[in-house]
Chains A and B, each alone.
Chain A
């Protein structure tokens, strides 16, 4: 290229300044292209930002922030709270971890999996696990080991205070050295232990579900209300930071008029079907009358001879819980009630059966419930199976859009939306995929989701993300409870919401058992 344009005189060409100039041009040949690159890259970037802002503007969400920090939940005051655990099974181990205590074996495990660091970053709640009560010796020993010798979030193993094992929960409630209790027993004890605990002046964190019949639900409701103690029901799902975004989207009426909500629970495993009496090798887990206080375990449920099946697989029997309603629907209901505060339905009808797990179970393995809210002009569906793990999501449907709310949040505009008609016609909002995706941990609202991002959004995450770090949602739920004990206030799953949930579950349960549609009488406060 250069040769043809060069002057023919060799003398002129070889002048040092010309040679230097040519050298410089050749050396810097890439620079103009780099300039073009910078220009195109910045154009590309501002196009993406503008497109996203345009969608957010159209939705009235200009100031919509992706979740980064959990507001107003700093531990204040150093006063220690002494906590007693009633029941120390698998769930209690998770709760202890959320509180800042893990066993040394668990520490090793997390270290090899690279998950110890994020746990160590969990906030120190300044609490003591000061008492353990379990009617099953091995569980009590695990609890004592974690409380006495386990690793704490402050990095040191062991304690500088006494940890006591109690033979009965009443013994623990009588002890003034215990300030608050965590109830993580099988469900048939929840209401009674909670009632007795608040009467004894203890604050209570109780795992779902709250009660198995209306009488004990009413009793626990009254007891907690009149006690002034802080009660939190164990539904960590609302602590996922994207719930704030979901609330905002609903408040901004982006979904339009909501008249149908579909919740689902699908799983397909032996463990998921609550068959848990065998270990990983298929051998029976330990359990006999020498290490289990069977009378205490039965509590007020009907007296039956000791059964290893009932002990480990209690969820299968109506004496101890309400099956998929108490174990799975409660989470679904809580998620929706936290968002929309739908409260107690006017009516409920359930249908289902035992179609797959042909063991001695009483609970159905396929179940569908329909709850009507005529005053709110909406229906709530729950559909569940224990023999398919196909994910069906949790979808809130409005006439302008629908929201799928899992660990991430997706809002899809409705093809026939009146509200977005113009934007859909103008191509600003598409209807073939989500128009808005919020992924915890991203720190960004994504209104122009790429194929890859859409793909990852559909995958579940177990933790929520705060400032880019995974945080256990159970930890946040416990922290909220602890904060309310220290500083006053009402936790997100207080006794009012627990009562609404309890009644809703009992309505669906009664409908299934009695094979009829049941109604709620708000005057008599009774299911009829």
Chain B
């Protein structure tokens, strides 16, 4: 991987990575700090193609607690990875998967109604989907090997080669 970005390209991609990392980290931290948080409420709202999966998760307290654990720590790990630029590519990939899971459980499609109000007005495209796509862009245009801890890993690989 070589850095062929112009400076503005590089820094705007880095900023996007840091901002999304910040968002993930705070989402994870908020869940971690709130002992009563559970994904139960969100999953109960699940409609469309993921509702079967959501039903399976909520039917068992063990599965639910595993999902809650993975969600909380996953969010924090991805957030840290993006902010520090450490394992940023896998972090982006897992982030896309996680966001798509959120999106597919409660997509804003015509005809699907949710009892929890959303924070804006959406039709098919919502902020979760946009964030997922942004992370996918970061996956395709990585920056952590130039700005971030991955730089060390990158260097080591170069030396080896």
Contacts and interface: CB of A to CB of B under 8 A. Distances in A.
Question: A-B pairs with the 6 shortest C-beta distances?
Answer: A114-B60, A442-B36, A27-B151, A30-B84, A30-B83, A29-B147
Nearest to A441: B36
A468 B35 CA distance: 9
A468 B65 CA distance: 13
A34 B152 contact: no
Contacts of B146: 26
B94 interface: no
A117 B41 contact: no
B149 interface: yes
B119 to A, nearest CB: 10
A114 B152 contact: no
A154 interface: no
Interface string B128-156: 00000000000000000011110110010
A3 interface: yes
A115 B22 CA distance: 37
15 contacts: A23-B151, A26-B148, A27-B85, A28-B149, A29-B148, A30-B83, A30-B85, A33-B83, A34-B80, A37-B22, A114-B59, A443-B35, A444-B36, A451-B117, A455-B115
B61 interface: yes
Interface of A: 1, 3, 23, 26-31, 33-34, 37, 41, 45, 112-115, 117-118, 439, 441-444, 451-452, 455-456, 468
B142 to A, nearest CB: 14
Given A34-B83, A443-B35, A455-B116, A27 B149 contact: yes
B83 A26 contact: no
A114 B41 contact: no
Contacts of B83: 30, 33-34, 37
Given A26-B151, A30-B148, A456-B41, A45 B85 contact: no
A443 B36 contact: yes
Contacts of B21: 30
Contacts of B41: 452, 456
B30 to A, nearest CB: 9
B33 interface: yes
A25 B149 CA distance: 10
A174 B63 CA distance: 51
A113 B7 contact: no
A306 to B, nearest CB: 43
A33 B22 contact: yes
| Most chain B Cβ neighbours within 10 Å, of A23, A29, A112, A114 | A29
Interface in B1-52: 7, 11, 14, 18, 21-22, 25-26, 29, 33, 35-36, 41
Contacts of A451: 117
Contacts of A34: 80, 83-84
A1 B14 CA distance: 13
B116 A31 contact: no
Per DSSP, chain B at the interface is: helix
A27 B11 contact: no
Contact of B11 (A1, A30, A455): A1
Given A37-B83, A114-B59, 20 more contacts: A23-B155, A26-B151, A27-B85, A27-B148, A27-B149, A29-B14, A29-B147, A30-B21, A30-B85, A30-B148, A33-B18, A34-B80, A34-B84, A37-B25, A117-B62, A439-B36, A441-B36, A452-B41, A455-B116, A468-B35
B116 A444 contact: no
A26 B147 contact: yes
Nearest to A114: B60
Interface in B46-82: 59-63, 80
Contacts of A112: 59
Contacts of B35: 442-444, 468
Nearest to B42: A452
Contacts of B148: 26-27, 29-30
A113 B59 contact: yes
Contact of A27 (B7, B14, B116, B152): B152
Contacts of B60: 114
A29 B15 CA distance: 11
A444 B35 CA distance: 9
Nearest to B18: A33
A456 B41 CA distance: 8
A1 B152 CA distance: 21
A456 B37 CA distance: 11
Contacts of A113: 59
Nearest to B154: A27
Contacts of A33: 18, 22, 83
Contacts of A1: 7, 11
B11 to A, nearest CB: 7
Contacts of A117: 61-62
Contacts of A27: 85, 147-149, 151-152
